[in-house]
Amino acid sequence: MKKHIAVIRGDGIGPEIVGEALKVLDRICALYDHEFTYTDVDMGGCAIDKWGDPLPQAELSKCLDSDSVLLGAVGGPKWNDVPGPMRPEKGLLRLRAGMGVYSNNRPAKIWPQLAGASPLKQSIVDKGIDFIIVRELIGGIYFGAHNTIEEDGETVAIDELRYSEQEIERIGRIGFETARKRGKKICSVEKSNVLDSSRLWKSVMHRLAEEYPDVELSDMLVDNCAMQIVKNPSQFDVVVTENMFGDILSDEASMITGSIGMIPSSSLGADSCGLYEPIHGSAPDIAGMDLANPIGTILSAAMMLRYSFDMAVEADCIENAVSAVLDQGYRTADILSSDTGCIKVGCREMGRLIIENMKRE
């Protein structure tokens, strides 16, 4: 099978972790007789440096012409003083909107080999952590109108939060369909005691629930959900929420699994051309030092195979290899526990070990 992948290496550790993921994809080609071709795309700080724009239209077009997009990470302090509309993160928002990927799916699953790396009590971890946050991605306050004005002698900043019924319904359906394939439980997270947008969110979710009688719907305020994720994460199966809440909660959920460096994500829309990326940032403080954890990016590549290319067996091959390497005791610095006797390795060596453990299923 031939597939064309747009590759956004990005900033900071992005080029390092994406490089290892591409080696893994090349190994998949060799094992399963596929052909993947790659086109590099400039986005983020590197695009600002090169083009004066975090995502030029020509670069976005490369993504739209591909079968899928693999992204490392963007941003860093180098571009902190760039005007807001031209910041590296604006390129990412434009990419998501341009691709129409409105559903960001972030699993929070603890690998048994890393149970000791979780900051939670062992008694909580032993109950199991395996849920997924379905986050609406191209609406809400990140995409509303933004304005800074002078009022009564002081500066006032305004950010608009808005959602339509249609936007809520389409992400709600993704949540319910995902729950049907898992534990048939969905928790809708909002702030309906304060926000009109959340009251509409809750209303639409309850209307949708009538179409999914086999799925148990619960409601939870976002502040309570933040507490429950660290108090009793085993209660969750599928969490569906709006853009900003999902951004915050998914980062929290990643940390209870041991490391943000282990978590992949997929962003999907109406077609199968998805955007796949680890959920961590560009970590400029360790860029170029061979310290980054490439597993989140490698697992994102596995999600690409599974959800955009219908290559479930190949995705299993990658995930099984990651598990095997963890079984062998190899750890990058972010998942290394001082009392386990594990072996510390760098980014390149972790990638090499995963490839070494990839076997045709």
* pTM (predicted TM-score): 0.85
Tell whether 280 is covered by a domain: yes
Tell whether 208 is covered by a domain: yes
pLDDT for 118 equals 87
Same-domain pairing of 82 and 138: no
Same-domain pairing of 133 and 247: yes
- Sole residue written with tokens 């389409």: 170
**Beta pairing, strands 264-268 & 68-73:** unpaired
* Enclosing domain of residue 264: 1-101+260-361
Same-domain pairing of 144 and 241: yes
For 225, the token pair is 């959900």
> How many domains, in total, are found in the chain?
2
Same-domain pairing of 282 and 233: no
d(CA 257, CA 238): 16
Tell whether 334 is covered by a domain: yes
Same-domain pairing of 228 and 294: no
Tell whether 109 is covered by a domain: no
Tell whether 186 is covered by a domain: yes
Same-domain pairing of 162 and 224: yes
Neighbouring residues of 323: CB distance < 8 A, sequence distance ≥ 6: 111, 113
Same-domain pairing of 203 and 223: yes
Same-domain pairing of 128 and 246: yes
Same-domain pairing of 90 and 134: no
Tell whether 111 is covered by a domain: no
Q: Compute CA distances 158 → 145, 243, 272, whole Å.
A: 8, 17, 35
pLDDT for 339 equals 61
User: What CATH number is associated with residue 138?
Assistant: 3.40.718.10
Tell whether 34 is covered by a domain: yes
Q: What is the DSSP letter of 142?
A: G
Same-domain pairing of 267 and 340: yes
Neighbouring residues of 305: CB distance < 8 A, sequence distance ≥ 6: 28, 311, 312, 314, 315, 318
**Beta pairing, strands 275-278 & 264-268:** antiparallel
pLDDT for 34 equals 98
Q: Pick from 233, 256, 279: which residue ends a domain?
A: 256
Contact call for residues 288 and 82 (beta carbons, < 8 A): no
Tens-digit pLDDT string for the chain (361 aa) = 999 999 999 999 999 999 999 999 999 999 999 999 999 999 999 999 999 999 999 999 999 999 999 999 999 999 988 887 889 989 998 999 899 999 999 999 888 888 888 889 999 999 999 999 999 999 999 999 999 999 999 999 999 999 999 999 999 999 999 999 889 999 999 999 999 999 999 999 999 999 999 999 999 999 999 999 999 999 999 999 999 999 999 989 988 987 788 999 999 987 768 999 998 999 999 999 999 999 999 999 999 999 899 999 999 999 999 999 999 999 999 888 766 689 999 999 999 999 999 999 7
d(CA 306, CA 167): 25
d(CA 268, CA 275): 7
Give the dihedral of Cα atoms 45, 135, 199, 181; nearest 10 deg.
170
d(CA 244, CA 347): 31
Q: Pick from 239, 256, 273: which residue ends a domain?
A: 256
Q: Pick from 256, 282, 301: which residue ends a domain?
A: 256
Same-domain pairing of 196 and 141: yes
pLDDT for 307 equals 87
Same-domain pairing of 126 and 34: no
pLDDT for 48 equals 96
Tell whether 16 is covered by a domain: yes
Report which of 276, 318, 328, 282 is spatially closest to residue 297, judged by C-alpha positions. 276
User: What are the catalytic residues?
Assistant: 142, 191, 223, 247, 251
Provide the CA 24 distance to its chain's centre, in angstroms. 19
d(CA 38, CA 16): 16
pLDDT for 274 equals 93
Neighbouring residues of 315: CB distance < 8 A, sequence distance ≥ 6: 302, 303, 305, 306
The secondary structure of 287-346, three-state, reads: CCCCCCCCHHHHHHHHHHHHHCCCCHHHHHHHHHHHHHHHHCCEECHHHCCCCCCCEECC
Contact call for residues 351 and 325 (beta carbons, < 8 A): no
Give the dihedral of Cα atoms 321, 325, 327, 330; nearest 10 deg.
-170
